Chain A
Amino acid sequence: MTAIVDYGVGNLFSLSSSLRSLGVETVVTCQEETLRAAERIILPGVGAFGDARAKLDETGLVPVLLEEAERKPLLGICLGMQLLFDRGFEYGEHPGLGLIPGEVASLGEDLEDKTLKIPHMGWNSLEIVKDDPLFRYFKDGEYVYYVHSFYARNCWDNTLGVSQYGNVAVTGAVRRGNVWGTQFHPEKSGDAGLRLLRAFAEL
C-alpha cells in the first residue's frame, strides 16, 4: 500500500487517481498507524514553504516521517520535495525536514534573464544526471510538468535530474537513500509521469 500524506495542502485528487490508474493500492491519510503500515509514502504539497511546514508540524507526523524514511521509500512532490531539504527561503527562512542536504531559494533571483517568466510553469525536459531505479521506465530528455517559483540548490551530490531554465539548471529530481523527490508533478506529466510513478511504486 502507498500512503499519500494528507496535511491540508493542495489537491490530492490527481495524485491518488494517477496511482489508482496504475493499479497501485493507495490511501490518502493523516494517521500515524497508516503511515507506519504503508510500504511507501508520498509527501505532496503546493503553496508556500513556511505554511506547509507549519501545517505538517500541526499533524504531529514529522517524527513519523523521519523514522519511516529510514526504512521505506519516501517520495516528495513539488513543495513536498522542497520540504525534504534543510531550509527554505520563501517569505523568510524556515526549517525543512533535513532529509537531503541543500536549500530552497527563489528561482527568479537566480535567473540572469529577467524577462523569463516566474513561476516556471509548463513542460520542460528532464535531463538525467545520475541513473536511478526511479528512471526505470523513463527516457532521458522526456518532458515533465512544472509549476513553481522556488527551487532546490546546493544539492548536487543528490541530484538525479535537472531541467534548464535560462542560466539555471533547475533541480528536477533528487535522491538520498530511501528518500526521493521531484520538483515537477509526475501526476500531471502525462505518460512519462505515470511511468515514473510506476517505477516508484515498484521500489
Chain B
Amino acid sequence: MLAKRIIPCLDVRDGRVVKGTNFQGLRDMADPVELARFYNDSGADELVFYDITASAEGRGLFTDILRRVASEIFIPLTVGGGIRGLEDFDRVLKCGADKVSVNSGAIADPSIIAAAAKRYGDQCVVLSMDVKRVDGQFRLFAKGGREDTGIDAMEWAVRGAGDGAGEIVLNSIDTDGVKTGFDLEMLDQLAARVKVPIIASGGAGNKEHFAELFTHRGVDAGLAASIFHTKQVDIKELKQYLRGKGVEMRL
C-alpha cells in the first residue's frame, strides 16, 4: 500500500530559507540547497518550496536554487509562491519542479487550475489553501493568510478538485506555528468532501502529532517547517517512530 508521506516545507526569500510564526515574524534560517540535501538524506518523501520573494531579482535567485536542488535531489519537488498563470507553471517546471502549488493565484483567477491541469496533468497541480474559522465557518484566506476572501473553504476545495487539482494542501491558520497539533477537525471535514490526496499543514509540534494525524484515514501526508528546520523533530526518527505505531512509512 501507499506509504504516508512526511514533507518538509522550505519558505525561501531572497535565496534563504525562513520561517515565521502565525504568518509573521520571519526569521532567516539556512541555505536551501544544503537544507534540501539534508532532508533528502534524512528520508523526506517530498520537498515543498515556497517562494515568498516579492522582487524580480529574488525570483531569479529562487529559480537558480530550484535548478540546483532538482539536479542533485531525486524525490518529488513541489513549488509554490507567486504562481499566477501558466507562464509561472512553465518557469518552475523547466527548473525541475514536479508539481506546482497555487494559492492566491487561483483565488484571483480560478480558471488557472483547469488550464494547468489540462496542459500538465492533474498530478502536477496542487491547490494550497490557507483556512481559518470565522463565524463558525471554514473561511478561505488569501495573501499569505492576511485577507479573508469570504469564500467557504470546503466549497473552494470541492471546486478545485473538480477543476483538476490533483492534491490539496490544507494549511490551518488557526493551528499554524503554535505547535499544538494538526487541525484534525478541519482535515476530517475536507477528507469527507474530496477524493484527492490531502496534505495536512500547520500545527505540528512533536512526533505524537503526526501519529495522531495518520489515525485519520483521509490524510495522506504531513507537512511542517520549523520543527524540522530547528531539528526539534528528526525526520528519520519520526518515520521509525510512526512505523512502530503501525503507520506505513518508507524507510
Interface residues of A (CB under 8 A from B): 11, 13-14, 17-18, 20-21, 46-47, 117-125, 143, 145, 147, 164-166, 187-190, 193-194
Contacts and interface: CB of A to CB of B under 8 A. Distances in A.
Contacts of A166: 1
Given A17-B96, A165-B1, A123 B74 contact: no
A18 B70 CA distance: 9
Nearest to B93: A11
B166 A119 contact: yes
* Pairs of residues from A and B, 6 with the lowest C-beta to C-beta distance, nearest first: A143-B250, A17-B71, A122-B2, A123-B3, A123-B250, A13-B96
- Give the dominant DSSP class at A's interface: mixed
A47 B40 contact: no
A14 B195 contact: no
Counting contact residues on chain B (CB < 8 A from A), the size range is 20 to 34
A118 B122 CA distance: 11
B75 A13 contact: no
Interface in B182-210: 195-197
B235 to A, nearest CB: 13
Contacts of B220: 117, 122
Given A46-B121, A117-B220, A190-B40, A13 B94 contact: yes
Nearest to A16: B71
B70 A17 contact: yes
Given A17-B96, A117-B195, A188 B74 contact: yes
Contacts of B95: 13
Contact of B197 (A20, A46, A121, A188): A121
A124 B2 contact: yes
Interface string B150-193: 00000000000000001100000000000000000000000000
A13 B153 CA distance: 35
